[in-house]
Amino acid sequence: MRDFAYARADTAESAAGALADPRTSVIAGGTELLNWFRLGIADADRVVDIGGLNELRGIAVAGDELRIGALATLNEIGEHPLVIRTAGALASACLQAASAQIRNRATIGGNVLQRTRCPYFRAEEPLPWPCSKRDPGSGCASLAGRHERQAIFGWTRDCVTVQPSDPAVALAVLDAQADVLGPAGRRTIPMREFHLTQREAAEAGQPMRETRLEPGELITGYRLPTSPDGQAYVKVRERASYEYAIVSAAATVRLWPGKIAAARVALGSVAQRPWRLTAAEAELPGTPLTREALIPVIERAMADAVPLPQNGFKVLMARNAAVRALLTAGGAR
């Protein structure tokens, strides 16, 4: 661990201004940043604490929008009546993340910025193997090593990792917008576009970029359209607590007698971003809410999956998670 200077931000603007220095990091809950420092994934000369900024807190409905401050903790969101009523998939995703103790500290602003849980990436320096995220251009040890939990969409030979955030999947399926403050002022980023796959980043000429945040930008909150549609979040994992998803799925469903009128579905832990199944969303209206009817729709939408030698099972597991999320969101049992 390196020494660093510590300061508390007075306003969101002052925090964003401090981030203009690339050697400055912000800290809120601290459940991720300190791990980065310990492992050598990141370091900083100065850390600015935004945990005392009440302007970044709060959960409220304004008109037809649910607004959530970036400093709201996962437990606060998961247990809040407004979130449960208007964004149930997000409430469920928050309460299925990490452990109760971590959820009391972890913020929704920081959670979506967590880094991959790939064991080749999460090793203490100096790394004894190649990892392009830690040493750009060095390669990907996971390709020739263990990769059963890695991506089935959007990966490249430089990196095959996935984005592990649970709330990010729900935010993507709920068409949430992230409010961002930075050197150019305020702007919004749709959460379905917030993260980048390795392929998308490579095509943009920045192969190791993971999000659309620009240098010096800070998430200040989220806005979600309120909806009466049924919602669900399904997380498949090896144990029921303190475990990251092998795959996950979030869905919303609006029914018209006996059939789906509209639906949205996103997969998690299958790519470096939540994976919206837009082809399925276009095909689902008019489809009966039955497992037999849903399976072929989801399979067609996942036809472009490219599994690695050890993770082909994730294609079937993700399909089943998506079907289960749709059935649960639609009230079927």
pLDDT by residue (tens digit) across 24-57?
Answer: 999 999 999 999 999 999 999 999 999 999 999 9
The pLDDT score that the predictor gives to residue 258 is 82
Alpha helices (H) in the chain, listed in sequence order: 12-18, 33-39, 74-79, 81-86, 88-95, 100-103, 108-111, 141-144, 166-173, 191-194, 198-203, 278-283, 291-301, 313-329
pLDDT by residue (tens digit) across 150-190?
Answer: 999 999 999 999 999 999 999 999 999 999 999 999 999 99
Q: Phi, psi (5° rounding) for residue 118?
A: -50, 125
How far is the C-alpha of 169 from the C-alpha of 192, rounded, in Å? 8
- Mean pLDDT over 51-75 rounds to 98
How far is the C-alpha of 118 from the C-alpha of 163, rounded, in Å? 10
Q: How confident is the model at residue 292 (pLDDT cuts 50, 70, 90)?
A: very high
**Is the pLDDT at 272 greater than 80, yes or no?**
yes
Q: How confident is the model at residue 95 (pLDDT cuts 50, 70, 90)?
A: very high
**Alpha-carbon distances, residue 105 vs 92, 102, 217 (angstroms):** 17, 5, 22
Beta bridge partners of 254: 262
In the block, tokens 């060095």 appear at 138
**Domain topology for 230-329:** Enolase-like; domain 1 (3.30.390)
Q: Can you say whether the dihedral through the CA atoms of 68, 171, 113, 115 is positive or negative?
A: positive
How far is the C-alpha of 204 from the C-alpha of 207, rounded, in Å? 7
**Element at 250 (helix H, strand E):** strand 247-256
How far is the C-alpha of 273 from the C-alpha of 275, rounded, in Å? 6
SS3 245: coil
| CB crowding 34-55: b at 16 or more within 10 Å, else e | eebbebebeebeebbebbebee
- Mean pLDDT over 266-292 rounds to 98
Q: How confident is the model at residue 2 (pLDDT cuts 50, 70, 90)?
A: confident
**Domain spans of the chain?**
54-113+163-225, 230-329
pTM for the model stands at 0.97
- CATH 3.40.30.10 for domain 54-113+163-225, yes or no, is no
Please, are residues 56 and 220 in contact by the beta-carbon 8 Å criterion? yes
- Mean pLDDT over 233-240 rounds to 96
